[in-house]
Chains A and B, each alone.
Chain A
Amino acid sequence: MAINRDSNRYTFSFAIVLVVVVGSILALLAMGLKPRQDRNTEVKKKLDILSAMMDIDALNINRSNGEAEFDKYVNLDKAVVLDANGNIKEAVVAFNIDIKKEYKDKTLNSKDRNFPLFVGAKDGETMYVIPVVGNGLWGPIWGNISVGEDLKTIKGASFGHKGETPGLGAEISQSFFINRWIGEGISDQNGIAIKFEVVKNGSGKETTKVDGITGGTITSVGVQEMVNRCMKPYVEYFKTL
């Protein structure tokens, strides 16, 4: 070959061509797929809210019928947005609030965050679904917690994570961990928010305590912090209902 592959000129031109080609392929791909990905995220958000209210696997609710089922159970018109003190914020659409983004946003004062609350009904009982977000060991964790008509008892939950260790911290999304939350109360008889404690010694049967996950301590503690912090405005709001 006539080209000297070791010359600086060749090396630079190769690098430039490579970067331009790869860069444009990736940029085009990302732009082309964005609408589909956004759509998937929206459906997923609805599924997450639903799964805090019921066992969506048992009811065969999945991505294809998720939206129709969501409209059956949840009334988005009733959803409200609270401020950090539990007062209703007007003119904000609950479903459009990205609490993960707000949580990550360091420039946003934690007092200015929005706290959406979804209202749904299952078998005639009103359910309030509270989205929560926090930090696990490797990255963000999030979830939805549904509270029953008495505004106290946790009826269901769903937890998700970005990249917790499989088999350890990642187990927070499994039903055995979620079931440990069901039946716990979020506030005592005086309406004071209960502080949950994720414990190691198996004493999770006691109220206010939930058994953690072996080998997933930091993730479990992350869930504890997340639930305790995110519940506060809602407990305040529930007092006014």
Chain B
Amino acid sequence: MSETVKTKAPRNPLFSKKNKKLITDPLTDNNPVTIQVLGICSALAITVQVEQGVVMGGAVLFVLVLGNLIISLLRNLIPSRIRIIVQLVVVAALVIIVNEVLKAFLPDVSEKLSVFVGLIITNCIIMGRFEAFAMANKPWPSVMDAIGNGLGYAGLLILVAVFRELFGSGTLYGFPIFGDYIEGNGLYSLGYVNNNMMILPPMALIIVGVIIWVQRSRNKALIEEY
């Protein structure tokens, strides 16, 4: 885990430069999806609509922050030989708790989330951050790291979803942008047609690929040497 940063905590102010970097880095040059290449499968599965990206991003952010905090608090107690299993138990328990509470108190949200619950548990960003950061750092930096990575993941999801929803369905967050497809007005009356390829998973892979390409061509430091 080359990227684990040992932060010196005693006299570190809560929003020191180092801690702020933990939040800002994953948004750009250490993005969990494009640079760490974690969480790709959920990025393919649920970026057809922006709304789904927002919901999934929020859910992962929530579970990641709580999970990183718990793992970080337990980090000196967890036996190293079963640490992955312990991490798995923590994330699974958190997701189930969230799901049960939503079902009882916010049933509409729970219905919307139904597909994502399973995807959260298997999202490798969560296990990746537990293992790479929370196991070696104090609770506060771990929370910052979780916020950063959660936001970085959500941001990329939304970016991909914007392309896919706009060109695949002609809407953004459910609002028609190019006119009504079924009525055939707006741009559609001029002969414009939605690109159905966009709503199929392979296009998500291609869009993520293009984003990685753009990012690396702008920042040469990100290109690995062979």
Contact A18 B86 (CB under 8 A): yes
* Cα-based distance from A95 to B137 in the complex (angstroms): 54
Contact B114 A18 (CB under 8 A): no
Nearest Cβ on chain A to B207's Cβ, whole angstroms: 14
Contact B182 A176 (CB under 8 A): yes
> When A214-B196, A214-B199 are in contact, do A166 and B101 touch as well, CB less than 8 Å?
no
Q: Does A202 interact with chain B (Cβ within 8 Å)?
A: no
Nearest Cβ on chain B to A136's Cβ, whole angstroms: 12
* Cα-based distance from A170 to B168 in the complex (angstroms): 15
> When A14-B79, A18-B86, A166-B115 are in contact, do A63 and B49 touch as well, CB less than 8 Å?
no
Comparing A22-30, A76-84, A119-127, the segment that makes contact with chain B is: A22-30
Chain B, interface residues (CB within 8 Å), range:
35 or more
CB-CB under 8 A from A36, the residues of chain B are: 104-105
Comparing B16-24, B57-65, B92-100, the segment that makes contact with chain A is: B92-100
Contact B89 A18 (CB under 8 A): yes
CB-CB under 8 A from A170, the residues of chain B are: 115
CB-CB under 8 A from A168, the residues of chain B are: 48, 199
User: Nearest 10 pairs between A and B by C-beta?
Assistant: A167-B48, A36-B104, A33-B104, A11-B79, A40-B107, A163-B115, A22-B93, A166-B52, A37-B103, A37-B104
* Cα-based distance from A99 to B199 in the complex (angstroms): 33
Main secondary structure of the interface of A (DSSP, over half): helix
CB-CB under 8 A from A25, the residues of chain B are: 93, 97
Chain A, interface residues (CB within 8 Å), range:
20 to 34
Contact B199 A14 (CB under 8 A): no
Contact A5 B79 (CB under 8 A): yes
* Cα-based distance from A44 to B106 in the complex (angstroms): 12
CB-CB under 8 A from A63, the residues of chain B are: 107-108
Instruction: Known A-B contacts: A15-B79, A40-B103, A166-B52. Give 10 more (CB < 8 A).
Output: A5-B79, A14-B77, A18-B89, A29-B97, A30-B100, A33-B100, A33-B103, A37-B100, A37-B103, A165-B115
12 A-B pairs within 8 Å (CB atoms) are namely A15-B79, A22-B89, A26-B93, A26-B96, A26-B100, A30-B100, A33-B104, A37-B104, A63-B108, A165-B45, A165-B48, A170-B115
Q: Does B212 interact with chain A (Cβ within 8 Å)?
A: no
Residues of A within 8 A of B (CB): 1, 5-6, 10-11, 14-15, 18-19, 22, 25-26, 29-30, 33, 36-37, 40, 44, 63, 138, 162-168, 170, 176, 214-215
CB-CB under 8 A from A40, the residues of chain B are: 103-104, 107
* CB-contacts of B162-214 with A (<8 A): 165, 168-169, 182, 196, 199-200
One digit per residue, 1 when the CB lies within 8 angstroms of any chain A CB and 0 when it does not, for chain B 70-84 equals: 000000111111100
Q: Does B46 interact with chain A (Cβ within 8 Å)?
A: yes
Contact A163 B114 (CB under 8 A): yes
CB-CB under 8 A from B105, the residues of chain A are: 36
CB-CB under 8 A from A162, the residues of chain B are: 114
Nearest Cβ on chain B to A11's Cβ, whole angstroms: 4
